[in-house]
């Protein structure tokens, strides 16, 4: 029990420190938000006035994917410097990983709100859909899809941080194949939320997305202490 409380306190401290550093370096947060909004605006300029559900969904997840890479892919950048040696002896690895995951979840939640808000502002609701669809399921699917991808990106970034040269390329090479199942489920759930498909046919997608996110987070928490001490 005492060890668990110590781990949770470490995780809370790491998450709070990450947010303080992000807030002090406000240009990084602004850059991620600007990238997401600019990407949506480019999609708006490139599309016509009759954007269907398929194109709308594809653009949404392309923007969400690369915005996630921009926001989460640098999560372990500070741990490549001399800070790493200090943290190896002062911070518990499991608490460090949990703190990074907490920070990434909050970042993803904010990013999902920005991307969805920008899409609805610039592109509106997809054309050719008479009914309003399932807006609640659309928001849930966007958040769960982003969350599932985030856990994978955190783990891949942690692995890539162990490589001194070419870590950015390694994160991309490892991350994109691992993100394919999440992207497939997320796009199917989004298209289902925009259509008249019954709820019973769509329940499996949020369940699978949540399971993938939880499973990846569990694997990251199990393997990270061994990677961190290497």
Residue range 117-163, pLDDT digits in tens: 898 888 877 765 555 567 888 889 999 999 999 999 888 888 877 76
Query: Looking only at Cα atoms, what is the longest distance across the chain?
Result: 60
What's the whole-number mean pLDDT along residues 1-30? 76
pLDDT for residue 59 is more than 80: yes
Lookup result for tokens 């989004």: 190
> Of 43, 88, 89, 83, which is closest to residue 63 (Cα–Cα)?
43
Task: Read off the pLDDT band of 54 (50, 70, 90).
Answer: confident
Q: How confident is the model at residue 215 (pLDDT cuts 50, 70, 90)?
A: very high
Stretch among 7-16, 142-151, 218-227 having the lowest mean pLDDT? 7-16
Question: Are the beta carbons of 115 and 36 closer than 8 angstroms?
Answer: yes
pLDDT, the chain, mean = 81
Mean pLDDT of 193-209: 81
The domain containing residue 113 runs over which residues?
Answer: 2-229
C-alpha to C-alpha distance for 36 and 70, rounded to whole angstroms: 9
Question: Residues 6 or more apart from 98 whose CB is under 8 A from it?
Answer: 7, 8, 10, 11, 14, 221
Q: Say if residues 36 and 119 touch (Cβ distance below 8 Å).
A: no
Is residue 1 over pLDDT 70? no
pLDDT at res. 186? 92
Rg of the Cα atoms in the chain: 19
3-state secondary structure of 229: helix
Number of domains in the chain: 1
Quick one: how far is CA 158 from the chain centroid?
Answer: 14
CA nearest to 47, candidates 65, 63, 31:
63
């Amino acid at each position: 029990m005492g060890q668990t409380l110590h781990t949770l306190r470490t995780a809370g401290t790491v998450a709070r420190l990450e947010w303080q550093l992000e807030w002090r370096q406000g240009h990084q947060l602004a850059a991620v938000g600007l990238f997401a909004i600019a990407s949506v605006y480019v999609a708006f300029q490139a599309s016509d006035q009759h954007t269907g559900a398929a194109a709308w969904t594809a653009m949404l997840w392309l923007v969400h994917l690369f915005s996630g890479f921009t926001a989460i892919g640098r999560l372990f950048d500070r741990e490549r410097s001399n800070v790493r040696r200090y943290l190896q002896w002062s911070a518990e690895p499991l608490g460090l990983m949990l703190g990074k995951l907490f920070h990434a979840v909050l970042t993803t939640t904010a990013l999902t709100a920005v991307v969805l808000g920008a899409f609805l502002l610039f592109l509106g609701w997809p054309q050719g859909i008479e009914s309003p669809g399932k807006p609640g399921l659309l928001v849930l699917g966007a958040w769960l899809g982003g969350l599932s991808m985030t856990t994978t990106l955190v783990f891949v970034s942690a692995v890539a941080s162990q490589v001194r040269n070419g870590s950015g390329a390694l994160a991309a090479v490892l991350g994109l194949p691992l993100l394919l199942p999440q992207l497939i489920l997320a796009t199917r759930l989004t298209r289902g939320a925009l259509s008249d498909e019954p709820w019973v046919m769509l329940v499996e997608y949020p369940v699978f997305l949540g399971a993938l996110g939880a499973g990846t987070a569990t694997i990251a928490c199990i393997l990270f202490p061994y990677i961190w001490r290497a």
